[in-house]
Amino acid sequence: MKNKWALITGASSGIGKELAIVHARKGGNLVLIARRERELQELKDFLIRDYGIAVCIFPIDLTESGAIPKLIRFTEEQGIHVDVLMNNAGFGAFGLFADSQIARNSNMVDLNIKVLIELTHALIPGMKSRGSGYIFNTASTAGFLPGPWQATYFATKAFVLSFTEALAYELKDSGISVTALCPGPVKTEFEKVAGMEGGKLFDQAMSAKLTAERGYRAMERKKVIFISDYPLVFPLRFLLPFIPKRWQAAIIFRVQKM
């Protein structure tokens, strides 16, 4: 990945920040996207100092109207050809759907889905013209399941899985690979933002660093769907298909309520 430009959304913390560090360690350049300018600037300074790469930051709320065209214009003005797109930005919320704020659900769909497909659509033509590229989508093991208490979040990640698999097939002869990283619980800001602090679900959560390193390697190997929490591979791949959806929902309802 030396000298290749990676654009990472949600880069100011968690998995996105760790993905940036992995890419920088391999000699790649970075465009870092998030809302928080101070965190982006601190990460930029660290990466330039420790790895001597080129780093651009673009603080923006990607759900704002016109955000994606602004971002694309920024990369064009900088003369950057994005070789690696990492759609990592996203958030969840905990609670019964009927009791939740519809605006928060809509914003979640915008960030987790709409932004992802718009940015991917904008950058694919350049990758196709060069005959190479990587598209990396941060999904979740939640995408394999119905998710009572996080109905909208689980549904957005199911979309990301389906979209990734379809796009990977469409682009199979283009030189562009498409990968979905599917972690289980990860120690990031997600727990706090989703309102799940104090629950047992994140007690044994993987670190963002290990999740990012495993996901990056899977992208390099051009895996389409990659479950980074290895103990979850067998139940999700080989047991889940035989469990009725209603039972799956009941299990997730109880687990998340703990």
- Which residues are annotated as catalytic? 153
* Opening angle at CA 97, ends 93 and 99, nearest 5: 100
> Which residues partner with 182 through β-bridges?
227
Task: Say how many C-beta atoms besides its own lie within 10 A of residue 64's C-beta.
Answer: 11
Question: What does the alpha-carbon distance between residue 255 and residue 258 come to, in Å, rounded to a whole number?
Answer: 6
Task: Say how many C-beta atoms besides its own lie within 10 A of residue 222's C-beta.
Answer: 13
> Which residues partner with 138 through β-bridges?
181
At 207, is the secondary structure helix, strand, or coil?
strand
CA 100 to chain CA centroid, nearest Å: 24
Q: Which helix (H) or strand (E) holds 247?
A: helix 245-257
Burial of 248 (0-12, 13-18, 19+ CB in 10 A): middle
